Structure 1
């Protein structure tokens, strides 16, 4: 019969410092294990950094509203031909005044200099900037909810690993006791066989029982090693021998959690996983609002202050084509200044059609997230009902296990006495040995199973204090 399956079915999904854990001089309490895991686990640290990044992103988005202030200096060499008149490029880096119109093309060239300060500011964005900030804030809320969900899940993993290791240690102790019983029994049987009181085949059967007990103990040690390694991984500390708090195998809560109530259902709304799904919905709605604002126009203020120099004299033209200098300094030194201010209203009308499809796409994404939220909420409600049933059944097993163990112990003592007096056979004695081993295993699982069931309900409700308050 496979005694490991019940333990695997009990397993849940996968300030004390790390140094204190490594140099353990007293039992490691569950609270200390939780604190160490929250402090060390890299996935939590990563999501803490993601939340910090989202916080900085809000500041970055807010600063996008600041005007663009540009400073520029330009030295050039070339010809001047064209028409008179000022020009300005959108969010312009430069302004210019062309040279005089000549009767024909010429290649007179000189140095020129341009020095300017330019400011461009989207004064009114018709809600676009506000929507960006709201989306950034919702991203922060989502990252923070993700962090809290990760912390909660990690606490549940640590608590589950703690209980599993404790059960494995108890199981290993039961297997050691079983081996000792088998060895004592073999000693008795061999002595009787040597004295001719029993058949020699009984010695072979006794040896087989000892070997079976040895193999079972090895399996128990392997399972304990795996659970110990799992707990060390969840705490992010080196693998080591843990001395755990035996509260979970010596008693159960005096007052177990009550059955499903309306309050339980309401509390599900504060479940970390549901809060994460809710924040994702809010983020999607904020992105949908931002996309809709992209179709709006923008009103921009622009201003330019410039000074310039030129190697061409003020009267350079058709009448005086030779009034220019090719000297570098005479061309680049500031000589005259100009300023230009204005407002620019721009609206890409075709964005109305582009954003319509984008908004519709985001709308369906939002609806999909709502569907996932509802599905998760319904699943948790069913899990809550199941957790109550598991607690009830675990308590029944807890109450029944000592009865079975006492009966198996009495039967083993009786069969041992009968066999010693020649009134029973080796097959009955071997069955009694198996029964007491099985009863001890059931006892270990039953004690631990009550706590596992309470932990399962706490994980479902999203409040680990429901579990910790029972300690």
Structure 2
């Protein structure tokens, strides 16, 4: 059977087409909202703090149930002797034995079955606010961990958005430097052609080759920076690094609303977390003080016993039975009700130092809150200044690009006609590259400034609503 062979050139074209199509498929557009959503769902610290919050909520439910009394029920069957002996005893390390019976001159080994059935409860009916403060402390802990989870989500949104904008800027710079490489290659070809025709000196072609190599190196560095920023974004999203194309929204327009009124900084998720830490510390201080007070307990016990030893076992040593059912049958019952108050009068002297230490912790937490508030207010003022400056640069960037492009075009025409030297053209090219770079990041800087304001106000919607 004859095999069919494609020509080498055809196979190369097919292979190249497959690689291009595969690359296009791999590089999907990733919207910022999707990146933020993936980050919230996958990032480890957010999931961990959500688990801590769930644990605190569970402990809060446990604290509420401390109001319930301790109720114990039990049943026990035994088999053994009932030799008694007058004398003191102390149960230590499980050595206690609760045998009771008549005291005889000599030991005997009469044995029978016995049983004990009981139910008891111990209810702290009044504790001068200790149970209530225990519940409030658990509630404060839940609120603290909830606020910690929320501020972690907020801060991570800011990190993801900032890194995304870095990817946008890096991607746009790659496109600009690729265009610069094309210009450098076109100009190099012109210089080489003129050199070969003897119209200009050969040194110009060497300089053109050097500029072309510099453009290639600059493009490679830009690609490396884009890959680094993409890797950082993948790490923040909690996914494996992959190539993707950022949304062109951030290079096509600036935010529609930049003068939106900011919320009060007191509603900032980070400040709310700091405040919840202070509240928890203050609540715990009250709980420690409440532990100094006494508690009133209501107790009750009901029990019944059975024994294989009959009531006339003394003096009749034969009055017992080894039958199991006769031994475990309840024969005597007792009950007990009681109320008592317990107060460790030395606890206030020991616990006062714990209260004092907790007050110092509260003071330190308040200082941290105040420091965070000052930093956020300073960041908010800076963000307003940055928005104004970025808007000025955004308006000026097109003017710079148009002027630099026209200057480069004129210098190129002059060089082709032998009216200027290569150094002048190179300087014009540098000015054009710088202008295009400034233009590329001008849009991005406006979005970065808005994101900074969103971070300072604690309102991510200030940024997200513009998408």
TM range (shorter): 0.7 to 0.9
1:9 maps to none
2:291 to 294, 299, 302: 294
For residue 243 of structure 1, give the secondary structure of its aligned residue in structure 2: strand
2:397 maps to 401
1:422 has 2:425 as partner: no
Q: CA, structure 1 residues 363+184, in 2 after alignment: closer, same or farther (shift >3 Å)? A: same
How far the C-alpha of 1:156 sits from its partner, in A, is: 1.0
Deviation string 1:204-263 (CA, Å, 9 cap, x unpaired) is 1111111110011011111111222222333333433323332211222344226xxxx7
1:196 has 2:198 as partner: yes
The whole-number CA distance in structure 2 between the counterparts of 1:239 and 1:397 is 33
CA RMSD of aligned residues (A): 2.6
1:77 has 2:74 as partner: no
1:372 has 2:374 as partner: no
| 1:12-411 paired onto structure 2 within 5 Å | 27-74=29-76, 75-81=78-84, 98-100=100-102, 102=103, 104=105, 106-107=107-108, 109-111=110-112, 112-257=114-259, 264=262, 267-317=264-314, 319-325=315-321, 328-411=324-407
How far the C-alpha of 1:450 sits from its partner, in A, is: 0.8
Aligned residues between the structures: 434
8 Å CA contact 1:73, 1:113 repeated in 2: yes
For residue 264 of structure 2, give the secondary structure of its aligned residue in structure 1: helix
How far the C-alpha of 1:377 sits from its partner, in A, is: 0.3
How far the C-alpha of 1:182 sits from its partner, in A, is: 0.6
The whole-number CA distance in structure 2 between the counterparts of 1:432 and 1:107 is 119
8 Å CA contact 1:66, 1:121 repeated in 2: yes
Q: CA, structure 1 residues 68+38, in 2 after alignment: closer, same or farther (shift >3 Å)? A: same
The whole-number CA distance in structure 1 between the counterparts of 2:289 and 2:25 is 59
Task: Give unpaired runs (5+ residues) of structure 2.
Answer: 1-23
How far the C-alpha of 1:126 sits from its partner, in A, is: 1.8
The whole-number CA distance in structure 2 between the counterparts of 1:297 and 1:392 is 64
The whole-number CA distance in structure 2 between the counterparts of 1:156 and 1:373 is 20
How far the C-alpha of 1:367 sits from its partner, in A, is: 0.9
How far the C-alpha of 1:48 sits from its partner, in A, is: 2.4
How far the C-alpha of 1:322 sits from its partner, in A, is: 4.9
The whole-number CA distance in structure 2 between the counterparts of 1:171 and 1:296 is 70
For residue 359 of structure 1, give the secondary structure of its aligned residue in structure 2: helix
8 Å CA contact 2:83, 2:99 repeated in 1: no
The whole-number CA distance in structure 2 between the counterparts of 1:76 and 1:411 is 110
How far the C-alpha of 1:285 sits from its partner, in A, is: 1.2
The whole-number CA distance in structure 2 between the counterparts of 1:417 and 1:135 is 79
Moved more, 40-49 or 428-437: 40-49
Deviation string 1:448-469 (CA, Å, 9 cap, x unpaired) is 1011011001101100122233
The whole-number CA distance in structure 2 between the counterparts of 1:381 and 1:403 is 35
The whole-number CA distance in structure 2 between the counterparts of 1:233 and 1:249 is 24
The whole-number CA distance in structure 1 between the counterparts of 2:430 and 2:457 is 40
| 1:426-445 paired onto structure 2 within 5 Å | 426-445=422-441
1:465 has 2:461 as partner: yes
Deviation string 1:71-116 (CA, Å, 9 cap, x unpaired) is 2222142324268xxxxx9xxxx9979434x475644543332121
Please give the TM-score of this superposition, normalised by the length of structure 2: 0.86
For residue 120 of structure 2, give the secondary structure of its aligned residue in structure 1: strand
The whole-number CA distance in structure 1 between the counterparts of 2:108 and 2:297 is 39
For residue 198 of structure 2, give the secondary structure of its aligned residue in structure 1: coil
Moved more, 373-382 or 328-337: 328-337
Moved more, 355-364 or 340-349: 340-349
Please give the TM-score of this superposition, normalised by the length of structure 1: 0.86
8 Å CA contact 1:291, 1:358 repeated in 2: yes
Moved more, 328-337 or 279-288: 328-337
How far the C-alpha of 1:326 sits from its partner, in A, is: 5.0
The whole-number CA distance in structure 2 between the counterparts of 1:213 and 1:459 is 37
How far the C-alpha of 1:330 sits from its partner, in A, is: 4.0
For residue 121 of structure 1, give the secondary structure of its aligned residue in structure 2: strand
The whole-number CA distance in structure 2 between the counterparts of 1:109 and 1:341 is 35
Moved more, 456-465 or 244-253: 244-253
Q: CA, structure 1 residues 103+28, in 2 after alignment: closer, same or farther (shift >3 Å)? A: closer
8 Å CA contact 2:394, 2:443 repeated in 1: yes
Task: Give unpaired runs (5+ residues) of structure 1.
Answer: 1-21, 84-88
